[in-house]
């Protein structure tokens, strides 16, 4: 018999935005200006869904 889940607490992991291709700090990745909002973090009056309003996306750089 397995114990029921008593906790929905998630581990403290980096939150990735839809535009992120890699985890922050991971080798071969770097921050880039979001191409959707041009780094403003917003598209018009709406928070950019690609970068999550940060204006920055994590993309893989270098060959890999």
Q: How far is the CB of 21 from Zn ion (least distance, A)?
A: 14
Task: Report how many residues bind Zn ion under the rule CB under 5 A.
Answer: 6
Q: How far is the CB of 20 from Zn ion (least distance, A)?
A: 11
**Could you give the CA distance from residue 45 to residue 35 in angstroms, rounded to a whole number?**
17
Residue list 16-55, contact with Zn ion (CB under 5 A): 34, 36-37, 48, 50-51
Kindly tell me which of 22 and 51 has the beta carbon lying closer to Zn ion: 51
The DSSP result for the chain, as a single string, is -PPPP---PPP--PPPPTT-SS-TT-TTEEEEE-TTTTTSSEETTEE-TTTTTSSEEEEE-S--
Chain positions contacting Zn ion, by CB under 5 A? 34, 36-37, 48, 50-51
């Amino acid at each position: 018999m397995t114990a029921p889940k008593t906790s929905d607490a998630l581990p403290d992991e980096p939150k990735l935005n839809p535009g992120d291709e890699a985890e922050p700090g991971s080798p071969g990745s770097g921050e880039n200006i979001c191409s959707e909002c041009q780094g403003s973090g917003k598209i018009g009056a709406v928070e950019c869904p690609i970068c999550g309003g940060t204006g920055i996306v994590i993309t893989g750089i270098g060959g890999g």
